[in-house]
Amino acid sequence: MDFAKTDAYLLRLSGAENYKALTPVEKEEFVFTAYERLSLYYAESMLTPKVVALQTLYMTKSASVDGEEGVALQNIRKAGAKSYSLEGVSVTFDDNATGDGIAPDVLAYFELLESQKSRARVGRLV
């Protein structure tokens, strides 16, 4: 894992304000955690700085939403609830969500790579 390349990518990325507001130690912790989470599902050779950066960005955005209400909703979802309502506010959890904490952009990227691999190519040698 190359923290310097991942950090440089994130610092240039628009919409990474939550990441940019972190201390250097927190940045390293988020990047390391993102890398470790992705390495559970994908080969380490596939984990480019861009992929790790996208996962880190997703995690820092999620962390900023968490707060007390976010943690409470996460606990309700982990308990298996499909929906929750309280005082005129209703939340319905997406059954199609991965639940493994992988960023949708990262999932889409790996799905694209997989679809490109499986295409049959016909060619001619000259």
- The per-residue pLDDT for range 93-122, each reduced to its tens digit, is 665 454 568 999 999 999 988 888 766 666
Please give the model's pTM, rounded to 2 decimal places. Answer: 0.69
CA angle 37, 73, 25 (to 5 degrees): 40
| The token pair that represents 99 in the structure block | 């639940």
CA 87 vs CA 65, 78, 91: distances in Å: 20, 22, 11
Copy the structure tokens of residue 42.
């994908």
Residue 29 neighbours by CB under 8 Å, 6+ apart:
none
Burial class (CB in 10 A: 0-12, 13-18, 19+), 5: middle
Q: Dump pLDDT digits (tens) for 6-27.
A: 999 999 998 899 999 999 999 9
